[in-house]
Chains A and B, each alone.
Chain A
Amino acid sequence: MTLDEKQQEIIDEFAIYDDWMDKYEYIIELGKELPIISDENKTDDKLIEGCQSRVWLHTDVVDGKMSFTADSDAIITKGIIGLLIRVLNNEDPKEVATAELRFIDEIGLHEHLSPTRSNGLASMVKKLKLSAIAATS
């Protein structure tokens, strides 16, 4: 599945929910299910301080593909991280660096990635892309 197909899959999954609370119910489930970073990587140098919630991000390149693990102290933030990982993991660094994350807008979560939201997600995406750019050079 291409990166964009993965995005489309998420958009289709969310299309069945017409109520906000149902969408969030699903995001929270994703957040609860995902053990997304190992404890030894959950260190202060991996920490992105948001004003509202905190995010830990660990990036790696495995067999030429990007690999991310991350976590947050807020479960909604964690659920959105789960979606980002699903889209971006195991992709070529170049694909990740240039990826347009349209699913975020289309499922109505753009506010969570706005820099004014201060939950650490916008900075996380920026760092994630920078790590992909670094891996291409």
Chain B
Amino acid sequence: MIRDDISIPFDVQKIREDFPTLLRSVNGKDLVYFDNGATSQKPQVVIDAINDYYTNNNSNIHRGVHFLSQLATSQYEEARKIIQEYINAPLSEEVLFTKGTTDSINLVASSLGELFSEGDEIIISAMEHHSNIVPWQMLCERKGCILKVIPISESGELKMDEFDRLLSNKTKLVSVTHISNTLGTINPIEEIIKKTHAAGGYVMIDGAQSVQHIPVDVQALDCDFFAFSGHKVFGPTGVGILYGKKEILDQMPPYQGGGDMIAKVTFEKTTYNELPHKFEAGTPNISGGICLGTAISYLSEMDLSAIHAHEMELAAYAEEKLLQFEGMRIVGTAQRKTSVVSFVVDGIHPFDVGTLLDKQGIAVRTGHHCTQPLMDFYQIPGTIRASFAFYNTKEEIDVFIKALERSLNMLR
């Protein structure tokens, strides 16, 4: 892939200069932003692109013959191509713009789900985000399908032997997360995809936590659907991607009706537009789509393996420091992990720790991380989660550890 050839050396201090939000202070302290699993900060190029779009190029797309409409349309479609290339999708019409990962999953559940019937089975896992649970539950209620859940081990890894038992010729779809937002576990999706295809089912991958950390090649993976959000990959909020194989998308009925998704409308019968427009009803988030392209271009100029190495070094350093605290328990200790460190401390509520860290300028996430069944599995109310991005540093971890020490001393 070309992105390796144009990579620039990894210099975290230089990279930080690209992210203006990282320079601000919070509660009188320099911001330490460790909530990247929730959303990433935006580089100046993305902020400038948003500004440029609304300042110079704003227009509706796909219908105007005038200059601005043509310009906005070509920028929007160019962004689709940038994203197509980044995830190595064979065709640009297989890359659908959505509102985000949640919307992408709902699209598949609503539309592909129409082709399912009573007794068909859908498999998810015990570590899924609510957005990869609830749409399937709703589909099961609507169609009489059966939802099955792959259990996990104490370390936060999928029990693959149990998966083998759940998988059968009744399995219509397996929808699992590539990387757990709460635990950081990298799931063996290659194996899941291969086995599910052998059993005759489709596979959807929730990539909300993966595209920004590890290379994703949808052709090499051979997944049928892959979803991710713009705002977690240094792009704007309110835009995301659904990749789907053309032959499957072509069989699926439209998700929503409206403008742009039609070929011809009469009161007697309406015919639908071709991909990708069939699934993109109404005026989309034009600026969001264009600027997601900018974010992906920014990301593709980086050496993703250097990013991964840096982030893993941060996570290892943080875990080592955290384990020096009494009563500390790291939640999620899988062999293959990304830079997510979730933890609990005996006798201390995560909310209290999050509140005190915030007052010291440190942004972490506390709570159940929209994975309540996972919290039930571990029998905890929530965790404190530090999730690192490539712009974080060891010095920030030192500040965090010091602030955590002060917080725990107050709470004990």
Contacts and interface: CB of A to CB of B under 8 A. Distances in A.
Interface of A: 20-21, 24-25, 28, 51-54, 73-77, 118-119
B349, B359, B381, B382: residue with the most chain A Cβ atoms closer than 10 Å: B349
Contacts of B351: 52-53, 74, 76-77, 119
B355 interface: yes
17 contacts: A20-B359, A21-B360, A24-B356, A24-B359, A28-B352, A51-B367, A52-B354, A52-B367, A74-B351, A74-B352, A75-B349, A75-B352, A75-B411, A76-B356, A77-B351, A118-B367, A119-B351
B352 A76 contact: yes
A9 B334 CA distance: 52
Given A73-B349, A75-B349, A52 B382 contact: yes
B13 interface: no
Given A28-B411, A53-B349, 19 more contacts: A21-B359, A21-B360, A21-B406, A21-B410, A25-B410, A28-B352, A51-B367, A52-B351, A52-B366, A52-B367, A52-B382, A53-B351, A74-B349, A74-B352, A76-B351, A76-B355, A76-B356, A77-B351, A118-B367
Contacts of B367: 51-52, 118
Given A51-B367, A73-B381, A24 B355 contact: yes
Interface string B344-372: 00000111101110011000001110000
A53 B354 CA distance: 11
B349 A28 contact: no
Interface in B355-395: 355-356, 359-360, 366-368, 381-382
A119 B411 CA distance: 17
B335 interface: no
A51 B354 CA distance: 13
B251 interface: no
A31 B360 CA distance: 20
Main secondary structure of the interface of B (DSSP, over half): helix
B27 interface: yes
B373 to A, nearest CB: 15
Contact of B27 (A20, A25, A53): A20
A76 B358 CA distance: 13
B355, B359, B382, B411: residue with the most chain A Cβ atoms closer than 10 Å: B355
Nearest to B27: A20
A53 B368 CA distance: 10
Contacts of A118: 367
A118 B351 CA distance: 10
Nearest to A73: B349
Contacts of A73: 349, 381
A110 B22 CA distance: 26
A108 to B, nearest CB: 10
Contacts of A53: 349, 351, 381
A25 B360 CA distance: 13
A17 B14 CA distance: 39
Contacts of A75: 349, 352, 411
Contacts of B410: 21, 24-25, 28
A100 B128 CA distance: 42
Contacts of A24: 355-356, 359, 410
A51 B365 CA distance: 12
A25 to B, nearest CB: 6
B345 to A, nearest CB: 13
Contacts of A21: 356, 359-360, 406, 410
Contacts of B350: 52
Contacts of B360: 21
A54 B355 CA distance: 15
B153 to A, nearest CB: 27
Contacts of A119: 351
B39 to A, nearest CB: 16
A6 B367 CA distance: 33
Contacts of A20: 27, 359
Contacts of A51: 367-368
